[in-house]
Amino acid sequence: MIRAILIAVTLSTFCADRKAEPANPAMLTIQLTAARKELHLQADRPIVFDHGRKQLPPGAYTVEVSGARPARQRFRLFSKTFPPSETQNAKQYAAQWKGQGYEAEILPFGRAWKLDSGATADNRNLWISVACLPTLEKAKALKAALEKQKTWAWIVPDTAEQGNGKLHFKDARGKELLKVEAPFLFQSDAPIRVSDVDIGFWKDQKKARAYRGTLEIRVGPDAAKQALLELYEHIDLESYLAGVLPAEMPTGWPPEALKAQAVAARSDVAAALGGKHTLEGFDFCGGEHCRAYGGDGGRQKSTDDAVAATRGLVLVAEGRVVPAVFSANCGGWTENNDTVWSSPPNGTLRGVPDFAAKKNPATKGPEAYGMAKWLKGAPQAFCAGDQAHFRWVKRFTAKELSDSVNKRYPVGQVRSIELGERGVSGRLKWVKVIGTQKTQVIRKDLDIRLAFGGLNSAMFMVEAQGRTDARKASAPGNPDSFTFTGGGRGHGVGLCQDGARGMADAGMRYQDILKHYFAVATLARLP
């Protein structure tokens, strides 16, 4: 710990030049793709730039960069957040860190929204930054040192200085038609198509997308092989939602489910605006890490109608817009936010059973009911219609599982897996992997799922087969394979999308669907 303290003190001035720049809540900045050597664009109408005074003809363009100076990044470790009402507690908490030799800072995040009623929904938070380090490796080392002291911190990139360089627009024959300085903004009367947009999360996946907003090319931080180009879109909130909805929910689903999804997504955006990506100079990424966004080309009438029918509507509770997150399938029970993420309990994000009245077989929760009976059965939940994800089985050979775990945790050959505490839905809070080289405790939903090859959810049980006791994966021995039996798809917090479809099919209105998943929230409208 002494070494970690010295690192923080030595670099205490590294982040002193950070200046907060308030974002315009009427417009969003979406990172579409990053770390690219070149960008490929297709415009059916002229590309307009320099405030409309100049333009490029329609056509296909390749954009490259020369003489680039990469953006300068640093990496902050945050350890706790406080609402504005607890400013004094935040100051005392920061002072405790300073007393240990850390250059702790209090940074404001989030936005305050004026509602149509005249009331204010204040979604600002105070984040406590305990260190700011020049490399990700040093940030990870300090994070690991803090975890040994039972302090759980998270790392957030912080762009200290914008990159620059010369951008070269070349036509299909390789002829240069334009050379400009980055960053560079442009737009067109028709959507501009972009090739190989990064849309994957669990695996690398790229797809062509079309965008109608103002586009911006930046030079990002130094990446492998000088892949520096980043592409952004500046777009208003409602147009952004029109691109989110068909990417997050099938457009042929019942209108009431689509409306519920529209309100939840709008609430989630409003609650998250001004969050962690603000330090990098944008609001949200265009992939599933933030929320899926298909741009202009994916829009459909059914989802456009759902956005329009609920225009401006958000969920509010306790003077804040609700971070109304959503996942594909809760598996029969949604989860508490603090089980899944390193965040304090949120009274609006409590786990609830996904059943009609009097049809819930596990009245005291899945764990009390018995996880084997819960996961190997088929209770009649609203979300049970998606049979492929409501209940699932995934089998790994011992080598496959060991290879997957060792990509993130050097444990050697996996001998056994010990399942830890569970949340209200039955999702695991932690697991212990016992290997030939090391024993590793893995905490929180996403890390658990990624460690085991991208499982559908952390609501699972696991059995080892072969040279061990097949009744429990924690038995000693040298197993041949591991079988995971689970339920649901996604983190399970907030709106269950398959559940919303089931409720809509049963004749429930979108207001009732939202009330089921966000019981303490009410509807309000942004002006």
**DSSP string covering 191-247:** PEEEEEEE--SSS--EEEEEE-SEEEEEE-B--GGG--EEEEEEEEHHHHHHHHHHH
Residues of the chain with pLDDT under 50: 1-14, 16-24, 469-471, 474-475
**Quick one: 450 exposed, middle or buried, by C-beta within 10 A (0-12, 13-18, 19+)?**
middle
Q: Given this model, what pLDDT does residue 347 score?
A: 94
**Quick one: 186 exposed, middle or buried, by C-beta within 10 A (0-12, 13-18, 19+)?**
buried
Locus of tokens 């180009």: 229
Q: Residue 501 to residues 32, 178, 263, 354, 435: CA-CA distances in angstroms?
A: 29, 49, 15, 12, 42
Closest CA to 427 of 505, 374, 503, 363: 374
* pTM, two decimal places: 0.89
Rounded Cα distance, 401 and 453, in Å: 7
Locus of tokens 């306790």: 318
3-class SS at 440? strand
Q: Which residues, including other chains, have CB under 8 Å from residue 45's CB and lie 6 or more apart?
A: 58, 188, 189, 190
Q: What is the 3-state secondary structure (H, E, C) of 145-195?
A: HHHHCCCCCEEEEEEEECCEEEEEEECCCCCEEEEEEECEEEEECCCEEEE
Is 69 in contact with 163 (CB distance < 8 Å)?
yes
Rounded Cα distance, 262 and 315, in Å: 11
Locus of tokens 């333009």: 55
Closest CA to 346 of 328, 326, 323, 330: 323
Q: Given this model, what pLDDT does residue 189 score?
A: 95
Rounded Cα distance, 482 and 414, in Å: 10
Rounded Cα distance, 42 and 346, in Å: 44
Each residue of 102-158: pLDDT tens digit?
Answer: 999 999 999 999 999 999 999 999 999 999 999 999 999 999 999 888 898 999 999
Is 145 in contact with 87 (CB distance < 8 Å)?
no
Is 191 in contact with 295 (CB distance < 8 Å)?
yes
Residue 463 bridge partners (DSSP): 483
Residue 63 CA, distance from chain mean position: 29
**Quick one: 207 exposed, middle or buried, by C-beta within 10 A (0-12, 13-18, 19+)?**
middle
* Size of the chain in residues: 527
Q: Are strands 495-496 and 326-327 parallel, antiparallel or unpaired?
A: parallel
Rounded Cα distance, 441 and 421, in Å: 12
Q: Which residues, including other chains, have CB under 8 Å from residue 403's CB and lie 6 or more apart?
A: none
Q: Copy the structure tokens of residue 364.
A: 């005291």
Segment (H or E) for 372: helix 371-376
Q: Given this model, what pLDDT does residue 14 score?
A: 42
